Amino acid sequence: MSLLDLLLLLVIAGICGAIGRGVGGGFSKGGCLVSIAIGFIGALLGLWLARQMGLPELFTINLGGTAFPIVWSILGGAIFVALLGLIGRLGKKG
């Protein structure tokens, strides 16, 4: 994987994470780095859930031999952000 492939992967993860943040409840803390992290965490979570349910990888981008699942990254990111929002709300009540 070249440096350009890595930078493109970070940009794609950031876009997927930002979309996931918007869909999952608008978790507004953080910026670009948080979106990238949510994109990667969402890819791991979403791909794991898809494999557990026997679903195929819908839309992947291959960069330098690394496949990045776009749809599962967005859905996993949305689930992750929704869980963070739920945990944050439960912590404020106590």
Mean local confidence (pLDDT), 76-88: 88
Helices (DSSP H) in the chain: which residue ranges? 3-23, 32-52, 70-93
Q: What is the pLDDT of residues 22-64, one digit of tens each?
A: 888 766 677 888 899 999 999 999 989 999 999 988 889 988 8
pLDDT of residue 25: 76
Ordered by start, the domain boundaries in the chain are 13-93
pLDDT of residue 16: 92
pLDDT of residue 37: 92
DSSP conformation class of 28: -
Give dist(CA 74, CA 24) in Å, integer.
9
Pairwise pLDDT comparison (84 vs 29), residue with the higher score: 84
